C-alpha cells in the first residue's frame, strides 16, 4: 500500500490539481484511433467571451509536457486577450506528434470536429507548425477557426498588425524611459528578420533610428538591412551591442542566465512570445539593472486583434490598426503602475488583465 507521502505527491501532481492551480475552466483530451489524433484543448477563461488561441503541433517528449504547455499557453492567451481590450477569453490547443510524420488532412479534420463539438466555446487559429492549408482542413469541419488565408475568405497575415503594435509599444516604453517617444537617433537591435521583424525595421528606420539586425538566415537579415538602411550583425553579437533598445522578434526565452548580464540596453520591447526564460527571476533582474521591459504579451497583441476582428466582425483594417494603437496607452500605464508599486511590468500587466476580467465578471448576469 502506498504511504501517505506517496499518495500526497500523486494528488499534488494530479491533472485536476494542475488544472486547479492554473485556474482553467475546462481541458478537453481528444483521441481518435483511426487518424492517430492526440490533442489537448485548454480553455482557461471565458468570462470575457469565447476562448481564442492557436493550435500548436509539437512532438512533445511526454503527454505531461503537452498538458503543461497547453495549460501555460492558454492561460497566457487569457491575459493577452484581456489586456488587448478584446471581448474574448483565453484558450489554446496542442496536437501531439511530429508534424512531418503524422500531419495529414484526416487528422486535422478530426481535430476540427473536436473543436466544433465545443460549439464555439473555443475558437482556434494558426500557431507553431500549422500553416494556411492546415487551417483550411480544420475549417472544413468547423466555423470556429480564425486567421484564415485570403483564399479562404480570411483577412490574411496578422504580422504587419503585430509589428505595428510592437512599434507603438516600443515608443511608449521610450516615453516612459527617456521622457520622449521619438525613436529618431536611437540605436535599436532587432533579433529576427521574419514577418514581424522586417516590418518593424521599416517603421524604425523610417522614424530615423539606427537599426542593427540579425537572423538565423543571414541572407534574410541582409535583405531587410539593404531595403531599409539597417546594419547586419551576428546572432551572438546582438546581445553585446551598445544599444538603447533590444527587440526580440525571433524566439522565446532569449532573456536568460546567459544573456541578461550582457545586455546594455535601457529598454526591451519585441514581438517574440515568452521572452523571459523565468518570468519572475529574470523580470526582477531587469528591474534591478534598470532595464525597462515592455511585456511581450501586451505589445505583440496586434496579431490577435487582427484575427479576432476578422472572425467576429466585418473586418476593417483601419479599426484593427486603431485598436492596436491603444497598446501605446496601455503600455505607458502598465510601466508607470509597475514603477509606482515596485513590481515588474509583467506582474503589473497580469494584474491589469485580471482586474478587467474581474470587473466584467460582475456584469455577466445582467442582460
Ligand atoms: P517568423 O518565423 O516569420 O520570423 C522569425 C525569424 O527569426 C526567422 O526569420 C528566423 O530565421 C529567425 N530566427 C530564428 N532563430 C533565430 C535566432 N536564434 N537568432 C536570430 N534570428 C532567429 O516569425 P514572425 O511571425 O516574424 O514572429 C516573430 C516572433 O513573434 C515569434 O516568436 C512569434 O511567436 C511572435 N509573434 C508573432 C506574431 C505574428 O503575428 N506573426 C504575433 C504574436 C507573436
Q: Output the average pLDDT for the chain.
A: 95
Average pLDDT over residues 168-192: 98
Residue 215 lies in a domain: yes
Q: Whose CA is nearest to atom 8 of ligand 1?
A: 194
The reported pLDDT for the residue numbered 365 is 77
Angle between helices 63-83 and 302-312 (to 10 degrees): 80
The pLDDT-based confidence of 268 (bands split at 50, 70, 90) is very high
For position 35, what pLDDT does the model report?
A: 98
Question: How far is C-alpha 179 from the chain's CA centre?
Answer: 28
Distant-in-sequence, close-in-space partners of 106: CB < 8 Å, separation ≥ 6? 34, 35
Sequence-separated contacts (24+) of 25-31 with Cβ below 8 Å: 26/121, 27/67, 27/70, 27/71, 28/114, 28/118, 28/122, 30/110, 30/111, 30/114
**121 and 179 co-located in one domain:** no
Please give the grid coordinates belonging to residue 17.
Answer: 490539481
Query: What's the pTM value of the predicted model, to 2 decimals?
Result: 0.93
For residue 224, pLDDT over 90 is answered with yes
Interval 319-339: pLDDT, tens = 999 999 999 999 999 999 999
What integer is the mean pLDDT of 233-247? Answer: 98
Beta strands 55-58 and 267-268 are unpaired
b/e map 175-200, b = 16+ CB within 10 Å = bbbeeebebeebbbbbbbbbbbbbbb
Out of 196, 221, 222, 277, give the residue to mutate to test ligand 1, the one with the largest number of ligand atoms within 8 Å of its CB: 196
Residue 148: give the domain boundaries.
Answer: 24-72+89-152
Q: Is 340 annotated in the active site?
A: no
The pair phi, psi for residue 257, each rounded to 5°, is -60, -30
**From the CA of 13, how far away is ligand 1's center (Å)?**
33
Residue 341 has pLDDT above 70, yes or no: yes
146 confidence band (pLDDT: 50, 70, 90): very high
Pairing of strands 89-96, 37-45: antiparallel
CA–CA separation, 268 and 147 (whole Å) = 28
Asked if residue 180 and residue 148 are part of one domain, the reply reads no
Mean per-residue pLDDT, 76-90: 97
Ligand 1: residue of 162, 219, 222, 250 to mutate (most ligand atoms within 8 A of CB) is: 250
Do 336 and 215 lie in a common domain? yes
Q: Is the pLDDT of residue 15 over 90?
A: no
Residue 197 labelled as part of a binding site: yes
Tell me, what's the pLDDT at 88? 97
At 335, list the grid cell. 510601466
Q: Is 193 annotated as a binding residue?
A: yes
**Mean pLDDT throughout 80-108?**
97
Tell me how far apart the alpha carbons of residues 300 and 305 are, in angstroms, rounded to a whole number: 10
Out of 38, 80, 92, 186, the active site residue is: 92
Judge whether 245 and 214 are in contact, CB under 8 Å.
no
Q: Does the pLDDT of residue 239 top 50, yes or no? A: yes
Q: What's the mean pLDDT in 202-219?
A: 97
Could you read off the pLDDT of 23-63 as tens digits, one per residue? 999 999 999 999 999 999 999 999 999 999 999 999 999 99
Query: 162 CA to middle of ligand 1, Å?
Result: 11
pLDDT at 11 over 90: no
DSSP string, 122-141: EEB-B-TT--HHHHHHHHTT
Does residue 265 sit in the same domain as residue 139? no
- From 107, 133, 152, the end of a domain falls on 152
Are 49 and 121 part of one and the same domain? yes
- Ligand 1 geometric centre to CA of 249 (Å): 5
Is residue 42 within 8 Å of residue 58, measured between CB atoms? Answer: no
291 and 169, same structural domain? yes
pLDDT score of 1:
47
The residue from 152, 178, 198 where one domain ends is 152
CB-based pocket (< 6 A), ligand 1: 158-159, 162, 191-197, 214-217, 220, 235, 249-251, 271-273, 300, 303
CA distances from 227 to 148, 198, 230, 238 (A): 29, 10, 8, 20
Is 201 in the same domain as 348?
yes
Q: Is residue 367 part of a domain?
A: no
Residue 5 has pLDDT above 70, yes or no: no
244, 97: one domain: no
The predicted model gives 206-221 an average pLDDT of 97
Q: Quick check: 143 and 130 in contact, CB under 8 A?
A: no
pLDDT value of position 7: 53
Same domain, 339 and 194: yes
The total of structural domains in the chain comes to: 2
Spatial distance between the Cα atoms of 364 and 174, rounded to a whole number of angstroms: 38
End-to-end CA distance of the chain: 54
% the chain with pLDDT above 90: 91
Answer whether residue 340 shows pLDDT above 60. yes
Q: Say what percent of the chain tops pLDDT 70.
A: 96
Residues 133 and 172 in one domain: no
User: Radius of gyration over alpha carbons of the chain, in Å?
Assistant: 21
**Domain identity same for 203 and 236:** yes
Amino acid at each position: 500500500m502506498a504511504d501517505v507521502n506517496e499518495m500526497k505527491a500523486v494528488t499534488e501532481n494530479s491533472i485536476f490539481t494542475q488544472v486547479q492551480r492554473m485556474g482553467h475552466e475546462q481541458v478537453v483530451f481528444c483521441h481518435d484511433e483511426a487518424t492517430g489524433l492526440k490533442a489537448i484543448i485548454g480553455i482557461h477563461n471565458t468570462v470575457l467571451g469565447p476562448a481564442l488561441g492557436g493550435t500548436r503541433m509539437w512532438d512533445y517528449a511526454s503527454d505531461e509536457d503537452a498538458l503543461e504547455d497547453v495549460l501555460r499557453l492558454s492561460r497566457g492567451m487569457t491575459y493577452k486577450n484581456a489586456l488587448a481590450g478584446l471581448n474574448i477569453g483565453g484558450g489554446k490547443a496542442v496536437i501531439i506528434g511530429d508534424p512531418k510524420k503524422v500531419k495529414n488532412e484526416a487528422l486535422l479534420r478530426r481535430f476540427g470536429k473536436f473543436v466544433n463539438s465545443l460549439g464555439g466555446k473555443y475558437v482556434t487559429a494558426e500557431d507553431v507548425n500549422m500553416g494556411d492549408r492546415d487551417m483550411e482542413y480544420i475549417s472544413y469541419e468547423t466555423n470556429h477557426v480564425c486567421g484564415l488565408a485570403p483564399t479562404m475568405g480570411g483577412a490574411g497575415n496578422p504580422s504587419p498588425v503585430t509589428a505595428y503594435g510592437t512599434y507603438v509599444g516600443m515608443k511608449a516604453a521610450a516615453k516612459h524611459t527617456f521622457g520622449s517617444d521619438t525613436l529618431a537617433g536611437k540605436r535599436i537591435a532587432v533579433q529576427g528578420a521574419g514577418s514581424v521583424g522586417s516590418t518593424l525595421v521599416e517603421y524604425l528606420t523610417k522614424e530615423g533610428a539606427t537599426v542593427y539586425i540579425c537572423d538565423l538566415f543571414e541572407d534574410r537579415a541582409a535583405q531587410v538591412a539593404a531595403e531599409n538602411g539597417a546594419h547586419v550583425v551576428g546572432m551572438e553579437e546582438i546581445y553585446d551591442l551598445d544599444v538603447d533598445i533590444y527587440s526580440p522578434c525571433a524566439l522565446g526565452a532569449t532573456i536568460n542566465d546567459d544573456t541578461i548580464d550582457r545586455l546594455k540596453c535601457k529598454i526591451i520591447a519585441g514581438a517574440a512570445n515568452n521572452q523571459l526564460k523565468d518570468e519572475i527571476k529574470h523580470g526582477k533582474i531587469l528591474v534591478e539593472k534598470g532595464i525597462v521591459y515592455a511585456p511581450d504579451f501586451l505589445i505583440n497583441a496586434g496579431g490577435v486583434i487582427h484575427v479576432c476582428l476578422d472572425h467576429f466582425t466585418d473586418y476593417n483594417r483601419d479599426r484593427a490598426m486603431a485598436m492596436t494603437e491603444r497598446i501605446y496607452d496601455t503600455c505607458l500605464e502598465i510601466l508607470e503602475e509597475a514603477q509606482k508599486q515596485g513590481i515588474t511590468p509583467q506582474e503589473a500587466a497580469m494584474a491589469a488583465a485580471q482586474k478587467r476580467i474581474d470587473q466584467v465578471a460582475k456584469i455577466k448576469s445582467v442582460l
